[in-house]
Chains A and B, each alone.
Chain A
Amino acid sequence: MRVVELENVSFYYGSTLVLDNITFAVERGDLLGMIGPNGAGKTTLFSCMLGLLGGYRGTIRMFGEDIRKNGRLFQKVGYVPQRKTIEQNFPATVEEIVSLGITKTLGEKIEGERIASALDIVGLVDVRDKRVGELSGGQQQRVLIAKAIVDEPELLILDEPATGIDLETQNRFYALLRRLNQEQKITMIWSSHDLDAVSKLASRVACINRSMFFHGHTHEFFENPNLLKAYSEASMQAHMHLHDHQ
Chain B
Amino acid sequence: MVLEILEFGFMQRALVAGVAVAITTSVIGLFLVLRKNSLFGDALSHVAFGGIAVGLVAGIYPLWTGLGLAVMGALGITKLRQSTKIPADATVAILLSSGLALGILLVSASGGFTLDLFSFLFGSILLVSVTDTLAILAMAGVILSIVIVLYKKLVYITFDEEQARVSGLDITRLNYLFVVLASVAAVVSMRLVGILLVSSLIVIPNVTALLFGKGFKKTALVSVAVSVFSVITGIAVSYAFNLAPAGTIVLVQVAVFIAALVARHSPKQVEEIKA
B242 within 8 A of A: no
A89-B210, A131-B214 in contact; A100/B156 too (CB < 8 A)? yes
Residue of B nearest to A89 (CB): B210
B162 within 8 A of A: yes
A71-B168, A103-B168 in contact; A81/B162 too (CB < 8 A)? yes
A147, B164: Cα distance in complex, Å? 11
A27 within 8 A of B: no
Residue of A nearest to B222 (CB): A91
A97, B156: Cα distance in complex, Å? 8
Contact between A74 and B168 (Cβ–Cβ < 8 Å)? yes
The 0/1 profile, CB within 8 Å of B marked 1, for residues 68-95 of chain A is 0001101101010100100101111100
Residue of A nearest to B213 (CB): A91
Contact between B159 and A90 (Cβ–Cβ < 8 Å)? yes
A51 within 8 A of B: yes
A96-B155, A100-B152, A100-B155 in contact; A91/B214 too (CB < 8 A)? yes
Contact between A75 and B213 (Cβ–Cβ < 8 Å)? no
Hey, which chain B residues are within 8 Å of A130, CB to CB? 214
Contact between A51 and B166 (Cβ–Cβ < 8 Å)? yes
A99 within 8 A of B: yes
The 0/1 profile, CB within 8 Å of A marked 1, for residues 197-241 of chain B is 000000000000110011111110000000000000000000000
B167 within 8 A of A: yes
Contact between B210 and A91 (Cβ–Cβ < 8 Å)? yes
Partner of A93, one of B164, B166, B215: B215
A52-B162, A89-B210, A92-B155 in contact; A103/B216 too (CB < 8 A)? no
B34 within 8 A of A: yes
A50 within 8 A of B: yes
Chain A interface residue bracket vs B = 20 to 34
For residue B211, give the distance in angstroms from its CB to the closest CB of chain A.
9
Hey, which chain A residues are within 8 Å of B210, CB to CB? 89, 91
Hey, which chain A residues are within 8 Å of B163, CB to CB? 79, 81, 100, 144, 147
Contact between A91 and B167 (Cβ–Cβ < 8 Å)? no
B165 within 8 A of A: yes
Contact between B214 and A52 (Cβ–Cβ < 8 Å)? no
A52, B152: Cα distance in complex, Å? 21
A87, B164: Cα distance in complex, Å? 17
* Interface positions of B from 217 to 271, Cβ below 8 Å from A: 217-219
Hey, which chain A residues are within 8 Å of B159, CB to CB? 90, 92, 97, 100
Chain B interface residue bracket vs A = 20 to 34
Hey, which chain A residues are within 8 Å of B165, CB to CB? 51-52
Hey, which chain A residues are within 8 Å of B215, CB to CB? 91-93, 96, 129, 131
A74, B163: Cα distance in complex, Å? 11
The 0/1 profile, CB within 8 Å of B marked 1, for residues 114-130 of chain A is 00000000000000011
A138 within 8 A of B: no
For residue A54, give the distance in angstroms from its CB to the closest CB of chain B.
11
Hey, which chain A residues are within 8 Å of B155, CB to CB? 92, 96, 100
Residue of B nearest to A130 (CB): B214
Hey, which chain B residues are within 8 Å of A71, CB to CB? 168
* Interface positions of B from 99 to 117, Cβ below 8 Å from A: none
For residue B87, give the distance in angstroms from its CB to the closest CB of chain A.
19
Hey, which chain B residues are within 8 Å of A96, CB to CB? 155, 215-217
The residues of B with any CB-CB pair to A shorter than 8 Å are: 34, 152, 155-156, 159-160, 162-168, 209-210, 213-219
Contact sample, A vs B, 19 pairs, CB 8 Å cutoff: A74-B166, A74-B167, A77-B166, A81-B162, A89-B210, A90-B159, A91-B209, A91-B213, A92-B155, A92-B159, A92-B216, A93-B214, A96-B216, A100-B152, A101-B167, A103-B167, A103-B168, A131-B215, A144-B163
The residues of A with any CB-CB pair to B shorter than 8 Å are: 50-52, 71-72, 74-75, 77, 79, 81, 84, 87, 89-93, 96-97, 99-101, 103, 129-131, 144, 147
Closest 5 CB pairs of A and B: A91-B219, A91-B213, A92-B216, A79-B166, A93-B215
Given A93-B216, A97-B159, A100-B164, 11 other A-B residues pairs in contact with their CB atoms under 8 A = A79-B163, A84-B160, A87-B34, A89-B210, A90-B159, A92-B215, A92-B216, A96-B216, A100-B159, A103-B167, A129-B215
